[in-house]
Chains A and B, each alone.
Chain A
């Protein structure tokens, strides 16, 4: 074995990871050059930081589809303040450094009026300072801990960052209450085991969930974090089974949870305890888990089965735009991306311009009916108040058990922006 071969292999693997985003970068460069040479077209440009490859790859395409549905709907209505809406999608590769680079490119070359997207908390945290320094509004559309405080000022609300998904403080308490009251055995003190991906959001969620669980009288028998690239979970599953927990809470979005659930099914984990979690059993992941997800209880902000005219319209437009999409009529991340852009469009319309200060004023307290239900942009923390649904997975589809109503994040608790 010659040494240079190893170096080449490593270099090419790194390049493979980087290459998928290259097209987006080149497209952005080409279009930027075209923008400079052609007369300006009246547009509202939205930059979407979508994790189309990497560990959050299963969510990136959904996010893009949701944003594209919103773009189509808005342009059919005549755009925003008469301007055409253009969504420019770039692949962040689920990597914070790439996310920061793409955010910079979208701001400097595409002159975006709004940034949206990202998957992992670390990616969102990488994009926030760039958007803030450039005075560009940014909405992160997936679930995650609060990130809407000002850098260095944890008690002040940012005027440029909004959270469109659930935070752990919105979802943990009502969901755990449901599990304790309705699902877990009553005869003894129930035991709970936490498993998470080894990064910010799962750790923040579990830290909070642990305190809530203990306050509810549950006994925590384990807490463990796994690198998201882990492919062999068998020793972890044995540890969980050995703990004799009644409830396993998994917080590990993306394909890592799929691998875990496939292997857990082999060892019969679900026969021994209730398996559930936060931000883990999204529709894209459930479709990859197959029957390993059967019977899982889950709290989510969207199901395609929500019976409302707004959701019906979204589903119809989604079907129209993506007729061959196997996840029809669109998973949570697609609905979330769609909803975030529709709210932003409403705010731009209300503001009468794309000025960030006017946008902030228009966003404060804005209320709107979205596919997931009635949503309020919380003026106290910029996080979308929205309904939460208790779901059960049956044949890889969500069954809505109950609507737990509008959930609100308390102040700026748990904000991870430093």
Chain B
């Protein structure tokens, strides 16, 4: 192998690592808001992502530009999340309980079967808003992948700013840390939860639209979306925005990096082994702290 080959291979592997990270970060971000912050297990997350992809496909087919398709997908996710809260979650005795898990799971099934009934099982597609590639030291990077990376950075920074630097973020954190005390201080925790749940749902829908140009769209992809998203959130841990960043780096970035060197099967096994080790160590340190 000559030097040129080595450097281009290394740059390609790094770019793929960033691609892998940004794809799973965007995919899991909506779940992070709902589960990572409020600990409500949204089992319908994968189906909401899938629905977002379908909405984007229909919007684009109807002649709307890609950005409108993404917004429509976000709107669909937000509406579904609001309906889920209004019909089920707010009526449950405790929203961060097993009952919310079952309720959202039921919603996921309804979405998946509804999509199958209406659209059939054949695949659909969404065209990316931009084609072409950017040349990075002689290694091509699809322009759309670069956009996805930029989107994931924007999401990360705006969440960090919103949660850590604004009054709204302070109220959300107070509602999560001690809901009773927050209520006593005049914070409407229920309203904040609904707002966060709807925003989380909207991000799930938008993730479906944003990832649609690089993935298959059919009624069966919801479960795979949920599995990956939960892996990210569980690996990263709950609470801080940087936890979802860490989860995405392990589940998406590391997997792509291992894939570049040793192939897909090793990458999947390696990523799962790393996730297992992280979970074991976290459990041990939690026990030690206790």
Q: Mark A residues whose CB is within 8 Å of B.
A: 1, 3, 5-6, 8-9, 12-13, 15-17, 19-20, 52-55, 57-58, 60-62, 198, 224-227, 229-232, 234-236, 238, 242, 255-256, 258-259, 262-263, 266-268, 284-285, 287-292, 325-327, 331
Contacts and interface: CB of A to CB of B under 8 A. Distances in A.
B164 interface: no
B41 interface: yes
A267 B234 contact: no
A1 B215 contact: no
12 contacts: A1-B237, A9-B43, A231-B228, A234-B16, A238-B260, A255-B218, A262-B213, A262-B214, A267-B133, A284-B122, A290-B125, A326-B120
B179 interface: no
Contacts of B223: 13, 16-17
Contact of A16 (B13, B108, B120, B127): B108
A256 B264 CA distance: 13
A290 B127 contact: yes
Given A19-B109, A232-B256, A288-B122, A263 B16 contact: no
B174 interface: no
Interface in B11-51: 12-13, 16, 19-20, 23, 41, 43
B240 interface: no
Contacts of B41: 5, 8-9
A61 B120 contact: yes
B127 A60 contact: no
B284 interface: no
Given A231-B23, A266-B128, A325-B120, A255 B234 contact: no
Given A1-B237, A6-B234, A12-B105, A235 B122 contact: no
Contacts of B124: 287-288
Interface stretch (B66-74, B75-83, B85-93, B139-147): B139-147
B264 A227 contact: yes
Interface in B193-223: 213-221, 223
B255 interface: yes
Nearest to B145: A266
B121 interface: yes
A53 B217 CA distance: 13
A53 B220 contact: yes
Contacts of B102: 12
Given A12-B105, A19-B109, A238-B12, A266 B122 contact: no
Contacts of A16: 43, 105, 108-109, 223, 226
Given A57-B218, A235-B260, A289-B123, 4 more contacts: A16-B223, A230-B264, A258-B215, A288-B125
A266 B121 contact: no
A288 B216 contact: yes
Residue among A198, A266, A288 with max Cβ neighbours from chain B (10 Å): A266
A225 B145 contact: no
The CB with the most chain B CB atoms within 10 A, among A19, A58, A236, A325, is that of A58
A224 B263 contact: yes
B101 A8 contact: yes
A236 B13 CA distance: 11
Contact of A12 (B101, B113, B125, B220): B101
Contacts of A292: 125
Given A268-B133, A268-B140, A290-B127, A229 B218 contact: no
Contacts, number: 158
Given A231-B228, A266-B142, A268-B133, A61 B123 contact: no
A242 B2 CA distance: 13
B224 A231 contact: yes
B interface, over-half SS: helix
B122 A232 contact: no
> Which 7 A/B pairs are nearest by Cβ-Cβ distance?
A288-B123, A290-B125, A266-B142, A258-B216, A255-B216, A61-B121, A57-B220
A235 B259 contact: yes
A267 B140 contact: yes
Interface residues of B, number: 61
A232 B255 contact: yes
Nearest to A258: B216
Contacts of B255: 232
Interface in B107-135: 108-109, 113, 119-128, 131, 133
Nearest to A396: B125
Given A17-B223, A52-B121, A325-B120, A236 B259 contact: yes
Contacts of B133: 266-268
Interface string B155-184: 000000000000000000000000000000
Nearest to A94: B220
Contact of B215 (A17, A226, A262): A262
B23 A287 contact: no
Nearest to B225: A231
A331 B238 CA distance: 46
A258 B264 contact: no
B123 A58 contact: yes
A234 B101 contact: no
B177 to A, nearest CB: 16
A289 B16 CA distance: 22
Contacts of B227: 13
Nearest to A230: B264
Contact of B142 (A3, A229, A267): A267
Contacts of B218: 57-58, 255, 258, 288
Contacts of A226: 264-265
B98 interface: yes
B52 interface: no
A231 B255 CA distance: 11
A267 B265 CA distance: 22
Given A9-B230, A235-B259, A255-B221, A58 B142 contact: no
